[in-house]
C-alpha cells in the first residue's frame, strides 16, 4: 500500500483513503475541494529499481489511459475528470463509482442470470462501439475492467492497454498485453487485433458472467494460452438463449464472428425478455460505415474504416512521434456544428503510397522557424517528420497513419471532420517532448479555430501552459490535400516567441507542406 496518508494534489484534490490496490498503483477516495464532490484518484506506483526510461514509459502509459478514456463521452465508459502532474508524475482523477467489478460480483456472490448478463453486454458493447468509431481498440476487456454500479450501469474502465487504430506499438515495452483468459487468439499469436478482437474478449467476459469461469479454464497462464490457441471454447451450461451467440463471439477466426449488429440485436432481445433470434455465422466481419454519435443508443456498426478514422487529435499519433504522450482530456462535450453536405470524389486519391514527409521541407525553410537548426528532419515511426532544437520543434504527422494512402478524398474529408469535431474547448493536455527539453507538463487546449487557407480545408487548435505562465506553447494546423490529412505542430517552450508568433509559425509550416503536396500531386 502506498505510504501516502494525506495530500492535496493541484491545490484541490485531498486524498482520503485507499479504495483499491492494483498492479500499477492505488486508487484513492479523494475530495475535490473546488467542486465539493468525491472523486477517485489513481496513483501510479513505480517499483524502486526502475530506470529513468522505464519510469517514463509507465508515465506515458498512464497518461494514455487518461487521454483515451477522457475523450470518449459515453454512459458506459468511466469518466476521467483531470490529469494531475505532481512531483513529475501523473495522477488520474476519475468519477467515483459505487459498486463492484463484474469479477468481484461473480466470485464473491454468484454468476449473473442470463438476462442480467445480457444487459451488461448491451452496455459494454455500446461502449466498445463508441471507442471503435473513434478509432480506438480497448484490448483488455475482461471481468475486472467491467464495473457494475449500484444504480445498475455497466461501466468499461482501464484504457491503459487501449491503442489508437493505426498507432505503432512496437516501441512500447514492459507492459502486459491483456488478461490471458480474455485475449483473442489472433492477438495471442502476435497480431495487432481489430474490433473483432474486442468482441471476442466481450464474449469471454459475458461467458464468465454467466458460467462463473472463463471459456478456456486452465491452471496456469501458459495452459490458458495453449487452450485458447488450439481448442474451442467449453460449451456453456447456463447460458440458455445466449449460448449460441457466445460460441459465435468466441470463434477462433475473426472473420467468422458475428457482426456488432447481430450481437446488439440478440443481447437486446435477451435483456428485455424477448425470444432471441438464433444468430447466423457472418460470412465476414465487415460492418457498415459508422460515424461517431453523441447519443448512447447502440448503433451496432462499428468497425473503423481506413481514412475515415479519427486519428486521435494528436493523442496516440503524436505519442509515438515525440516519444511521449500528448492527449486531450475533454472536460466538456458541446456538439460541433454539423457539416454541410458536400460532394467529394469516391475514387482513390493522388497519394496512393506513403509520402516522405521529411523531403517536403528543405532545412533552409525550416530554419526560418527554428533558427539554430543544423540537421535534416527526422522521420518518425508514424510516417511523419520532426525538426528539433532545444526549446523549439516542428512536427508533422499524416493523420490516420498509413490507413489512408490510396483512399478517396471523401474518406479523407470524413477524417478531417472527425478530427475537427473532437477538438473540445478547455481540454486538459498532459505531454512532453524530450527532444526539445520539454519535460512532462500540463496545458489547456482550445477548441477548433478558424485559420487562413491551407490545402483544401483547414482548422487549428492551440495548447496553453496550464499552471505557470499561461503562455501559448504549441499551435497546430490540420489540413487536407486530396486524400491526405496532415497535422502540423509548431512548439516553442523556451519563451522566445509569443502566442501570435507561434500560431503564425504553425500556419506558415502548414502552407509550406500543403503547397509541396499540391506540387507533388501535380507531378512537379
Query: In the structure grid, which three cell numbers stand for residue 369, read together?
Result: 522557424
Answer for the pair 169, 191: CB distance below 8 angstroms, yes or no. Answer: no
Q: Which residues of 24-34 are buried (b: 16+ CB within 10 A; e: fewer)?
A: bbbbbbbbbee
Phi, psi for 303 (deg, rounded to 5)? -65, 125
C-alpha 487/C-alpha 314 separation (Å) is 8
Largest alpha-carbon pair distance within the chain? 71
List the catalytic residues. 140
The residue assigned the cell 500556419 is 507
Q: Which residues lie across from 465 on neighbouring strands?
A: 443
Q: What is the DSSP string of 458-474?
A: EEEEEEEESSSS--EEE
Q: Show the DSSP H helices in 299-447 as ranges.
A: 316-321, 363-366, 409-421
φ, ψ at 19 (rounded to 5°): -105, -35
Sign of the torsion formed by the C-alpha atoms of 218, 224, 227 and 228: positive
Distance CA 489, CA 496 (A): 17
Amino acid at each position: 500500500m502506498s505510504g501516502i496518508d494525506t495530500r492535496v494534489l493541484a491545490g484541490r484534490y485531498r486524498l482520503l483513503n485507499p479504495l483499491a490496490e492494483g498492479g500499477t498503483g492505488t486508487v484513492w477516495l479523494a475530495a475535490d475541494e473546488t467542486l465539493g464532490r468525491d472523486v477517485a484518484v489513481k496513483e501510479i506506483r513505480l517499483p524502486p529499481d526502475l530506470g529513468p526510461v522505464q519510469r517514463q514509459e509507465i508515465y506515458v502509459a498512464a497518461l494514455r489511459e487518461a487521454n483515451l478514456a477522457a475523450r470518449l463521452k459515453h454512459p458506459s465508459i468511466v469518466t476521467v475528470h483531470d490529469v494531475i502532474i505532481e512531483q513529475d508524475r501523473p495522477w488520474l482523477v476519475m468519477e467515483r463509482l459505487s459498486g463492484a467489478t463484474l469479477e468481484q460480483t461473480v466470485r464473491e456472490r454468484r454468476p449473473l442470470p442470463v438476462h442480467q448478463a445480457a444487459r451488461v453486454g448491451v452496455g459494454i458493447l455500446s461502449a466498445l462501439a463508441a471507442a471503435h468509431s473513434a478509432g480506438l481498440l480497448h484490448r483488455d476487456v475482461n471481468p475486472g475492467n467491467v464495473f457494475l454500479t449500484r444504480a445498475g450501469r455497466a461501466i468499461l474502465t482501464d484504457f491503459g492497454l487501449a491503442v489508437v487504430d493505426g498507432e505503432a506499438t512496437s516501441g512500447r515495452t514492459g507492459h502486459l498485453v491483456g488478461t490471458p483468459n480474455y485475449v483473442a487468439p489472433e492477438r495471442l499469436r502476435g497480431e495487432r487485433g481489430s474490433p473483432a478482437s474486442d468482441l471476442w474478449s466481450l464474449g469471454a467476459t459475458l461467458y464468465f458472467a454467466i458460467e462463473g469461469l472463463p471459456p478456456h479454464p486452465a491452471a496456469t497462464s501458459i495452459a490458458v494460452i495453449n487452450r485458447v490457441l488450439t481448442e474451442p471454447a467449453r460449451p456453456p451450461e447456463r447460458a440458455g438463449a445466449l449460448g449460441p451467440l457466445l460460441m459465435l463471439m468466441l470463434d477462433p477466426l475473426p472473420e467468422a464472428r458475428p457482426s456488432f449488429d447481430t450481437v446488439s440485436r440478440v443481447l437486446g432481445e435477451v435483456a428485455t425478455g424477448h425470444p432471441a433470434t438464433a444468430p447466423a455465422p457472418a460470412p465476414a466481419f465487415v460492418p457498415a460505415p459508422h460515424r461517431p454519435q453523441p447519443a448512447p443508443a447502440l448503433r451496432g456498426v462499428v468497425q473503423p474504416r481506413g481514412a475515415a478514422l479519427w486519428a486521435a487529435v494528436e493523442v496516440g499519433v503524436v505519442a509515438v512521434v515525440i516519444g511521449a504522450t500528448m492527449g486531450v482530456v475533454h472536460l466538456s462535450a458541446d456538439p460541433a456544428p454539423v457539416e454541410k453536405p458536400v460532394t467529394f470524389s469516391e475514387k482513390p486519391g493522388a497519394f496512393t503510397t506513403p509520402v516522405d514527409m521529411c523531403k517536403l521541407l528543405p532545412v533552409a525553410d525550416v530554419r526560418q522557424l527554428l533558427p539554430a537548426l543544423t540537421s535534416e528532419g527526422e522521420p518518425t515511426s508514424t510516417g511523419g517528420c520532426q525538426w528539433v532544437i532545444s526549446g523549439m520543434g516542428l512536427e508533422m504527422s499524416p493523420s490516420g497513419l498509413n490507413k489512408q494512402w490510396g483512399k478517396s478524398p471523401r474518406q479523407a474529408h470524413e477524417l478531417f471532420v472527425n478530427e475537427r469535431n473532437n477538438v473540445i474547448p478547455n481540454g486538459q493536455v498532459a505531454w512532453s517532448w524530450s527532444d526539445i527539453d520539454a519535460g512532462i507538463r500540463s496545458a489547456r487546449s482550445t477548441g477548433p479555430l478558424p485559420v487562413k487557407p491551407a490545402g483544401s480545408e483547414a482548422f487549428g487548435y492551440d495548447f496553453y501552459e496550464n499552471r505557470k505562465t499561461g503562455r501559448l506553447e504549441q499551435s497546430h494546423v490540420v489540413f487536407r490535400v486530396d486524400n491526405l490529412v496532415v497535422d502540423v505542430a509548431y512548439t516553442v517552450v523556451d519563451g522566445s516567441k509569443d502566442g501570435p508568433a507561434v500560431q503564425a509559425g504553425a500556419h506558415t509550416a502548414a502552407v509550406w507542406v500543403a503547397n509541396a503536396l499540391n506540387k507533388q500531386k501535380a507531378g512537379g
